[in-house]
Amino acid sequence: MEESKTPLLRVRNLYSGYGNLKVLFDITMDVYSGEVICLVGRNGAGKTTLFRTLAGFLKPFSGEILFKQKNVVGNFPFEIALSGLKYVHQDKQVFSDLTVRENLELASYATKDYDWDRVFTYLPKLKVLLQRKAGLLSGGEKQMLLIAMALLGRPSLVLMDEPTEGLAPHLIQDLTQVFKEIRKETTLCIVEQNLPMVTQIADKVYSMKEGKIVAETSNPEEIRALVFEKYL
Amino acid sequence: MTKRTYEWILPFLFTGGLILTRYLFPAKMTFITEVALYTLYVMGNNILFGYLGYVSFGQPVYLSMGAYSAAIYLAYLGRNPLTAILVAILMGILVGILMGPVLIRLRGSYFTLVNAAFCAIGLFTVERLLIGITRGNDGLWFRTRMVATPLLDIRQPKNFFFFAMLVLLVIFILYRRMDRSVLGAAFKATQGNERRMQFLGYDTFKIRWLGFVLATVLSTLAGSLYAINFGFVNPNLGENSRAAEVIVATLLGGSGTVYGPFFGAITFLGIKEIVSQWITRWELLVGVLTIIVLFKFNRGVWGTFTDLLHRSRKTMLMQRKTP
């Protein structure tokens, strides 16, 4: 894959946390268009905090976040989302009282992107679930719906926090195929503990430990050899 | 009949039902008019409570604002009741726009209590601070100053009844439209998962603000209609001790539904009308009923009815499918 020289997302010396509690220390990373980045690390390593900071839910103590060469530190989460950086949270919470169609309509209205057919090419199962209440979907279906909602508006970068958590192995395999397809239209940054999946989709892997990035690799052989496993 | 047609018929069915009741029980015209006006008031609270999840103990102040803005206009500035209604609506928009950003920042009990405090301030203002204009507890009379309105002279109680029905019908249709639109879904989604809405790119603050403005406008509209109906207004309308009533009515009818406020208003005012003939403290029955609704039928009258309807429809479909 040919990478552009300017990163889509550029993070420099980022310190962030909750209240006075520092969780992230000196995070520096680059994400280029078309890449699939995986973030791995134990629970409490700061992966979710990093995503929450990038998505605008946490204001960093210091550091720089440049998305499409614009500083987004201090922007509201909705402004960051509208600028093309979408965040799929790990809780798999959809709007339970609304139908799948209404969930998609909400996502479309915010971004003015009503091209559902494009989304259905990646996630065809959703098409038959349109009238179902989102609260009645299975874990895998909810995840599909969340991904579909994130893809509306053609975001440049989608952050996904543990998309396979709690899913059955065959669903993880399905999701892996979905990621392989949607990477054709967007850049993905995924927090993932499922290492077989990481080896299948990642172009670059960042390993996190105790709030720091302790290793990174974009060498396919190293990724296949799971060299980052020691940080888990 | 398709579901869509059936849904379109309901606003006409309910207002038509009220008109029919008026002819069946002519002596109850005042009560039926009050049901229509109270429905508008409950609809406002329903946006806050049912759609956005805000419990407000300050709704009487908005009702009172509508009533007083119409009354002051009619007593001192003009004579046309329709203009007075417009003044009250504008007052609702203005108050919603100005107060909204302050109030909707607050969550949970803070929102509830600040609204309650605001209600107390409002009551003090009309009772004492603006006594020169509002005439305090003596109330402000303006019935004789009103001029006849074109087509339908709403100074006459009989005509006002039809006018109230027309307003209710229009608001029903608009309310239903709002519920089915992205706006209705956005209100509910903001209540359910505000962060997810932000992930999608929504400025949820503006959504909550808009909901507050709509709720305020409905309350001021109801207040102005109350004032015109009686030709008089006094501070009782904005009593903060009555703040819970509209919440109870919303719960009884079914919060977060389009027609819940209508059934809430009928149930609440119906109990008040019937039971108060025998028991002075009619609120006792409302209290018991509220407890039962909260524990057993928390979807309220309309919500429970629609649930039963869905369930029976499902059973019928299942029976048809079974050979």
> pLDDT by residue (tens digit) across B224-277?
999 999 999 999 888 888 888 999 999 999 999 999 999 999 999 998 888 888
The reply to whether A203 falls in a domain is yes
* Closest by Cβ to B200, choosing from A76, A102, A149: A149
Structure tokens that stand for A82 in this block: 């509208």
Structure tokens that stand for B210 in this block: 């808009």
- Please indicate whether, in this complex, the C-beta atoms of B197 and A106 are within 8 angstroms of each other: yes
The reply to whether A2 falls in a domain is no
Question: pLDDT tens track of chain A, all 232 residues?
Answer: 444 578 999 999 999 999 889 999 999 999 999 999 999 998 889 999 999 999 999 999 999 999 999 999 999 999 999 999 999 988 888 888 889 999 999 999 999 999 999 999 988 889 999 999 999 998 889 999 999 999 999 999 999 999 888 888 888 888 898 899 899 889 999 998 888 888 888 999 999 999 999 988 888 888 887 777 777 7
Q: What is residue A168's predicted lDDT score, i.e. its pLDDT?
A: 83
Contact B91, B227 (CB under 8 A): no
Instruction: Tell which of B196, B200, B203, B205 to mutate to test the A interface (max A CBs under 10 Å).
Output: B200
Q: A with B: how many residue pairs have Cβ under 8 Å apart? A: 63
The reply to whether A128 falls in a domain is yes
Query: What residues are paired with A213 via a beta bridge?
Result: A208
* Closest by Cβ to A82, choosing from B193, B197, B201: B201
What is the Cα–Cα distance from A29 to A69, expressed in whole angstroms? 14
* Closest by Cβ to B182, choosing from A78, A94, A109: A109
Q: Domain boundaries in chain B?
A: 3-242
CB burial of B295-304 (b: ≥16 within 10 Å; e: otherwise) equals eebebbbbbb
Contact A92, A142 (CB under 8 A): yes
Q: What is residue A1's predicted lDDT score, i.e. its pLDDT?
A: 45
Residue in B80, B66, B74, B119 with CA at minimum distance from that of residue B225: B66
Q: What is residue B57's predicted lDDT score, i.e. its pLDDT?
A: 93
Query: CA-nearest residue of chain B to A55?
Result: B199
Question: pLDDT tens track of chain B, all 323 residues?
Answer: 566 677 789 999 999 999 999 999 999 999 999 999 999 999 999 999 999 999 999 999 999 999 999 999 999 999 999 999 999 999 999 999 999 999 999 988 999 999 999 999 999 999 999 999 999 889 899 988 999 988 888 999 999 999 999 999 999 999 999 998 999 999 999 998 888 899 899 999 999 999 999 999 999 999 999 999 999 999 988 888 888 899 999 999 999 999 999 999 999 999 888 888 888 888 888 888 888 888 888 888 998 898 888 888 878 877 777 66
DSSP B97-109: HHHHHHHTT--HH
Give me the interface pTM, i.e. the ipTM: 0.81
Chain B residues with CB under 8 Å of A86 CB are 199-200
- Please indicate whether, in this complex, the C-beta atoms of B185 and A93 are within 8 angstroms of each other: no
CB contact set of A31 (below 8 Å; sequence gap of 6+): A7, A8, A9, A10, A37, A157, A187, A189
Chain B residues with CB under 8 Å of A89 CB are 195-196, 199
Following CA atoms A108, A113, A114, A116 in sequence, which dihedral angle do they give, to the nearest 10 degrees?
A: -90
The reply to whether A218 falls in a domain is yes
- Please indicate whether, in this complex, the C-beta atoms of A81 and B204 are within 8 angstroms of each other: no
Q: How far is B251 from chain A (nearest CA, A)?
A: 18
What is the Cα–Cα distance from A19 to A59, expressed in whole angstroms? 10
Q: Is A104 on the interface with B (CB under 8 A)?
A: no
Structure tokens that stand for A213 in this block: 């990035």
Residue A150 belongs to domain spanning = 9-231
How far are the Cα atoms of B70, B81, B152, B221, B296 from residue B91, in angstroms, in the given order? 9, 15, 25, 9, 39
Q: What is residue A2's predicted lDDT score, i.e. its pLDDT?
A: 46
- Please indicate whether, in this complex, the C-beta atoms of A78 and B189 are within 8 angstroms of each other: no
The reply to whether A1 falls in a domain is no
Query: Which 3 state secondary structure label does DSSP give B22?
Result: helix
Say how many domains are in chain A.
1
Q: In the block, which residue shows the tokens 């009515």?
A: B249
The reply to whether A116 falls in a domain is yes
- Please indicate whether, in this complex, the C-beta atoms of A98 and B202 are within 8 angstroms of each other: no
Q: Is B176 on the interface with A (CB under 8 A)?
A: no
Which stretches within chain B are classed as H helix? 3-24, 29-46, 59-72, 81-103, 108-124, 131-134, 157-180, 182-192, 194-200, 204-230, 243-253, 260-275, 283-296, 300-321
Q: What is the DSSP letter of A19?
A: T
What is the Cα–Cα distance from B138 to B76, expressed in whole angstroms? 17
Q: What is residue B86's predicted lDDT score, i.e. its pLDDT?
A: 97
Q: How far is A203 from chain B (nearest CA, A)?
A: 25
- Please indicate whether, in this complex, the C-beta atoms of A95 and B185 are within 8 angstroms of each other: yes
* Closest by Cβ to B193, choosing from A95, A107, A150: A95
CATH of the domain at A61: 3.40.50.300
Which positions 138-177 of A are in contact with B (Cβ < 8 Å)? 149-150, 153
Structure tokens that stand for A77 in this block: 């989460």
